[in-house]
Structure 1
């Protein structure tokens, strides 16, 4: 099996600040660094570090060649990542002393890729493969419909949240992944509750309160692991990528949730995004230490 990910590729500009800025406030950052990020990138790296074959579908500008090379070094297949004239997407990330973050995104090349890239990538997919999607690229509904027609499992992370984007893609989705706030927004926008969302499966991450999966009339939950957080950036993406990889590799829902929870716990103990996502060996070692 394989995981295809139509996902964003961003340069993360990370600023450490004493607290998240209020409107009109100017803050002095205590540190600054540039790293590889984007929800799509993070999920691809997480799934690849979990041991799945991952093919990323996306685009960078000439300024983003380093990002493509970094993705490849983290075991992600980038044959379907194009270099185009539009600048690479980037994010401005403020991280405070409590490890909470606030993020501003520039879409860039993530919204300028061509549908021909999607066609070429999914032509290489087989029934039973997985397509990951997030709300940070163009052509989500197009890719989801094509993937569904090919018998693929379609997992959609509804973030950054947009009810219009959700409505467009939902008919083709196997599983929707949201955090607690996004779940509330989704249910309010669709005037329903989690039990009646028109999708086969739903995954809700609740930070320190763990996560919950619902599907086929069943519910599975997992508690979060107690760690000292350093940076919560990409924690949800790490969870989603590891969960997708677990399912791709034939794990049951409970096992995939446990694996994903451990990976997310380890991630928040390190600063950064894609570079800080743990590999499978580290996650399994962490789990063994909890037993």
Structure 2
């Protein structure tokens, strides 16, 4: 088990003065959340207590999390030529995110998600890919300016893997560390792993990609061996309330989760990834320490409603760490 650093105040002060440059390639969605007491059974109609809309999408959430934790953040993606696209571009700009490489798709609408949220804070999500799924490698034209000098490039599976593969190859030309969040889970292009430095699945995603059921430390170490054989040096497996398991060339361990009462888990994983990227050293030498920060950021997110609106700032995370 990894203990919280005893000198966490010194740690957070140091991180404030070390701004990272993060690029996110990914999805942009408008989230509509239906608040219910419980999830409906197949064929059942139930009443929603209320409905709300907020900016979201795994890519956009991760970018906002990185930016709010102090990283210089740029985004590569697409929105539709519609009011939702205008809304999402403004949301990113309000968080000081560089949107010069967000394309305007004239043929597909802005991505959207329908979220059903129950009284326990658990959710079901249906996603319309729209401009996200229509993304092509053309979006990378001219993107070398944001990759040049970047520390990290993050991507997920809500945009085509072929675009991520091309972007990761481009990142490697510029010495950029690549982080892959393989969510939502599905089969992966094998070549993509060869260009991935850090992979961060949850338990089910990890099992799907490796064929190894996550049951204990031994199974997670076997998963790490699998990913290393494919070219991925760092594995982070998010385990919900149990924390995060990490395996790196320097060692492995479990960073425990912070115990809080969740009211909405929608952007928990995205906050974790974005916040993590803002804290990691370029050589990934401080994984355990950065995971503490990322876990704390995620724990604050689940205590608020909505995806992007619930993502904390660096000051909020740092204050929570020293409580």
Coarse TM-score class (shorter-chain normalised): over 0.9
Where do residues 199-218 of structure 1 align in structure 2 (5 Å cutoff)? 199-218=232-251
Q: Is 2:53 the partner of 1:34?
A: yes
Match of 2:101 in 1: 80
Q: Secondary structure at the match of 1:173?
A: coil
1:124 aligned counterpart, secondary structure: helix
Instruction: Say if 2:23 and 2:150, in contact at 8 Å, map to a contact too.
Output: no
Q: Structure 2 length normalisation: TM-score?
A: 0.84
In structure 2, the residue matched to 1:71 is 92
The equivalent residue for 2:148 is: 126
Q: Which moved more, 1:247-256 or 1:205-214?
A: 247-256
Q: Give the C-alpha shift of residue 168 in structure 1.
A: 4.2
Q: Aligned match of 1:140 in 164, 180, 187? A: 164
Contact persistence 2:180–2:199 (CA under 8 A): yes
SS at match of 2:142: helix
Partner residue, 1:176: 199
3-state SS, counterpart of residue 203 of structure 1: strand
| Largest Rg, 1 or 2 | 2
Count residues with an aligned counterpart. 288
Where 1:184 maps in the other structure, the secondary structure is helix
- C-alpha displacement of 1:207: 1.0
Taking only aligned residues, the RMSD between alpha carbons, in angstroms, comes to: 2.0
CA displacement, residues 223-274 of structure 1 (integer Å, 9 cap, x when unaligned): 1111111100110111111111111578721221010010000000001001
Q: 2:314 aligns with which of 276, 280, 290?
A: 280
- Runs of 4+, deviation exceeding 6 Å: 189-192
Which structure 2 residue ranges, 5 or more long, are not aligned?
1-19, 214-218
SS in 1 for 2:40: coil
What do residues 64-112 of structure 1 show as CA deviations (whole Å, max 9, x unaligned)?
1111101110222111112221100001100101101011111101122
Distance 1:152 1:249 in 2: 9
In structure 2, the residue matched to 1:236 is 269
Give the TM-score taking structure 1 as reference length: 0.93
